[in-house]
Amino acid sequence: MKHHDEFVTKLALLQEILDKKQAALTDVLNISENQETLYLSPPSSQRREFLLEMGKQKQVQIDDVLACDEVFQRIFDSIADEFAQKKDEFAHEIRRLQDSINAVLQLDVKIRAQEEKGKALAAASFGRKAKAKAVGQGEINPANVNYILHKYKEASKNKPAAPQEENL
């Protein structure tokens, strides 16, 4: 019975992690959309400060997403065999996990599209002058505006594959 309870607890943890990841990705999407508004606004020192602050906030959320991915993978790996054996018994919980994974994937696609749009707007907004600025001087640079998304994409490529829907 204790082993059964542990398995149920781990399933609940997986769902909690996916919920947290979805919330963090929603925040990333909202920040990216707000950045778009700023890119379209007239240049000002306040705009630059807001963009820098938003970049920091987005980085915090992406770090949370990456941490969620790591923990999710560890927990899933620890119960993968049992998970496969008990898929009928826990069909409802597994379906909920699948739905959450699909929601996370949809958010990821929206974020990538929004970031590409933001990158183009940043390039248009800051033009060549920003390209000449050195990275690390607190300036927004079209070459590094997409840095956070790039970091997320690279981390996603380098980590073990997350469980796919057919594995759940």
First and final CA of the chain: distance in angstroms? 23
| Per-residue pLDDT, 125 | 79
| Per-residue pLDDT, 160 | 44
Could you tell me the CA-to-CA distances from 20 to 43, 61, 68 in Å, in that order? 35, 10, 8
- For the entire predicted model, the pTM comes to 0.76
Mean pLDDT of all residues in 113-128: 84
Fold classification of 2-167 (topology level): Methane Monooxygenase Hydroxylase; Chain G, domain 1 (1.20.58)
Could you tell me the CA-to-CA distances from 110 to 13, 46, 162 in Å, in that order? 26, 27, 19
Q: Is 76 exposed, middle or buried (0-12, 13-18, 19+ CB in 10 A)?
A: buried
Mean pLDDT of all residues in 139-156: 50
| Per-residue pLDDT, 140 | 42
Residues 148/66, Cβ–Cβ less than 8 Å: no
| Per-residue pLDDT, 99 | 97
| Per-residue pLDDT, 43 | 86
Lowest mean pLDDT among 5-9, 36-40, 49-53, 137-141: 137-141
The 3-state DSSP class for residue 161 equals coil
Question: DSSP label at 44?
Answer: -
User: What average pLDDT is seen over the chain?
Assistant: 82
| pLDDT more than 90, % of the chain | 59
Instruction: Give pLDDT tens digits for 55-92.
Output: 999 999 999 999 999 999 999 999 999 989 998 999 99
| pLDDT more than 70, % of the chain | 74
pLDDT band at 145 (very low <50, low <70, confident <90, very high): very low
CA angle 130, 134, 146 (to 5 degrees): 65
Q: Where are the domains of the chain?
A: 2-167
